Each structure stands twice: as structure tokens, then as C-alpha cells.
Amino acid sequence: MVPGPTDVAAIALAFILPAAAMLLLMPGYARFLVARGRTTGDSHKPGGVVVPTPAGPLIMASLVVGEVAAWAFFRSPVPLVLIVVVASVGLIGLYDDLRGLGGVVKPALLAGVGLFVAVAEHLHRGVYSPVLYFPLFTETGTHYIIFALIVVASVPVSANAFNMLDAFNGEISGFTAIVSAALVVAVVLRAYALPGTSLGTVAMAVPLLATSASFYYFNRYPSRIFDGDSGSLSFGAMYVILSIVGGVEIAALVALIPAVVNSYYILSSVRGLVERKRMAARPTFLGDDMKLHASSDAKAPTTLVRMILLGGPLDERALVNRILAITAYAAFLSVVTSVMTWLL
């Protein structure tokens, strides 16, 4: 489908408004957090460096601004569903930032957000399509119950996968920006290939790219603000629900492979859902050379970072660049998957 002037204006505004909100408001918000004493130590730097946290509320606000812009143009209920998802998950994350939530309570609450999306589809058909489109082959049949179960499970899985990648300066913001760029390509190709598809899904997808890319400016090494669980969970939930309402689940899953592999290796090595702060041993440690080393402690979880550091110690910036290089490669495979799904 060829975009008209209204489509272009909607997509441009849905990108520009969240990015502008982030870039203009973040410095003042960071000062506000410092004035309120909301800071935490940056454990990978010497000299007691403290960084304001959490940036999650501003990330939520930025995403909401973008979805409101998409809604204003397309008048679809889907951006409203996305707003409720971001607000709910962000508040769960904010409670976790301020008070802490258990390793089982948090996934249960996040599954409740997934349940809300499934119920929204039940009440208003068209929020998402209960069909999976696969590369090279075709789509599955329509399976309302099976798909609803996938939606309920996807929010805690994705949100926690993002949360587990939130350990180093610029890691989560760079990761989200790269995978959301692949997601935008997927929804653009789907809109191009499927006759009658609204470009509204593109306008709904770009706020995540705009928010994460502009947040990377503040979160990259050396970080001027941390996102907190409210930020990482919001990113993860928004990403997976966008992939579902956009009908590009398989391509989105491929971009997410580094996060999925990381989560799977952590869960299999610690044998269950354990909150990061309560793990018996850390996967890495800061050496006297100010570089990060892989821990040799048998109790330490097997993480993506620990696996990378088995090649030798790295400083934080080089380590995050490697993680983002692996993510960019997965995003490239995601684009290949999108081409195989929609153009071949």
C-alpha cells in the first residue's frame, strides 16, 4: 500500500513527538530525581559514581505521547490498548523500582496485562489477528484460544527478557532501538504486501523506536540516567504487544533471539524464576584493571555477557558494543525473515 500525505504526517508525528518529549524533558527530569535523592551507584565504575533512576516514568510518558498521536490520526482502539499496556506495565515496574516485587509476583502481574489484551480482542475484534504468518510458507488457521494463551504468556516472557538485558550503560536502550527498527521494517513490509492493511500499525510502532533511540542518547556510556525496571519492562511489553497487533510475531521473535537466549541460559543455569538481586553469585566482576571479567563461580548464572567475557576481559563500553553488534546481526536476520514472509 502506498502511503498518502495523512499517513506520512501521522507516522512523522508519532516519531517526532516522543523523541522531542524525551530529549527536551529528560535533563530536567534527571535533575528532579537527583534533588529527590533518587540515585543509585554505577557498580561498573570506580570512584562511587551515582546516577539518577528511574527514567521509566518519562519513557512511559514518551510512549504514550506517540500512541496518542497515532490514535488522533487513525481513531483505532489499538493505540488505546497500547497506552493501557504501557501504563500498567510501567506502574508494575515502578513499584518494583521503589518497593521491590518477588520473582513470581512480577510475572503474574505482567501476565494480567497480557490477559487484558486478549480480553480487548474478545470484546473488540481486530485488536490483533489470531493468526501467525510464517516465512516462505503461509499463515496458520484462526485459533482464538491458543493465540489468547500466547498473548497472555508473551508479556511476562518479553518484559523479563528485556529486564534481564538491563545491566550496563546503553545496553537496554541500544538493544530496544535496534530491535524496534527491525519491527518497524516488518510492519512496513506487511502493510506493503497485504492489500487493505492500514498504515496505522506503522504509526503505532515508531514511538518505541523514537523513545528508545532518544533515550539511548542519555543512557549510553557513561550513563546520565538509568531506566529502572519501569523502563525495561515497558520496553519489553510494548515490543511484544506491538509485534502481536502488527501481525509480525515471527520476525519480532527473530530480532529478540539474543534476549531469548540470554533469558533461557539464565533460567536453565539458576533453575527457575529468581529475581536478579537475589541470585547467589554475580555472572561478572570488575577487576583491578577496571575491566569486566567472567566469573568462574559455579553458582553464577550463565548470561550472554558472561559468555562474551569468556573471550577475555572488556571495558564496559566495548562489552556493550559487542552486545549491540550481536543484536544488530539478529535484527538483520529479522529483516531477512520479514522479506521471506511478505515478499517471497
Partner 1 sequence: MSGTEKNKETLLAMMGIVTVAWLLILGATYVFFVIVRPLGPELHGANLPSYVTKVTLTLGLGASWFVVMFAISWLYLRAFRSPRTSS
Residues of the shown chain interacting with partner 1 in the complex, contacts defined by CB under 8 A: 134-138, 141, 143, 250, 253-254, 257-258, 260-261, 264-265, 268, 285, 287-288, 293-297, 302, 304, 307-308, 310-314, 322, 325-326, 329-330, 333, 337
- Return the bridge partners of 314, or none: 292
Question: Is the CB of 198 or the CB of 321 nearer to partner 1?
Answer: 321
In the complex, least distance from residue 141 CB atom to partner 1, rounded to whole angstroms: 6
Q: Which is nearer to partner 1, 37 or 272 (CB)?
A: 272
Looking at the Cβ atoms of 232 and 303, the one nearer to partner 1 is: 303
Q: How far is the CB of 57 from partner 1 (least distance, A)?
A: 33
At closest approach, how far in Å is the CB of 267 from partner 1? 10
8 A C-beta contact, residue 83 and residue 237: no
Nearer to partner 1, 179 or 199 (CB): 179
- Number of C-beta neighbours around residue 210 at 10 A: 27
Cis peptide before 54, with omega less than 30 degrees from 0? Answer: yes
Least distance (Å) between residue 90 CB and partner 1: 29
Q: Which is nearer to partner 1, 94 or 179 (CB)?
A: 179
Length of the chain counted residue by residue: 344
Contacts of 245 (CB under 8 A, 6+ apart): 78, 81, 82, 127, 128, 201, 204
Nearest approach, Cβ of residue 341 and partner 1 (Å): 10
Whole-number minimum distance, CB 265 to partner 1, in Å?
Answer: 6
Least distance to partner 1, CB of residue 126, Å: 21
Cβ-based nearer residue to partner 1, 126 or 297 = 297
CB of 329 to partner 1, least distance (A): 5
Instruction: Indicate the residue among 195 and 312 with the shorter CB distance to partner 1.
Output: 312
Nearer to partner 1, 5 or 137 (CB): 137
Beta pairing, strands 50-52 & 39-41: antiparallel
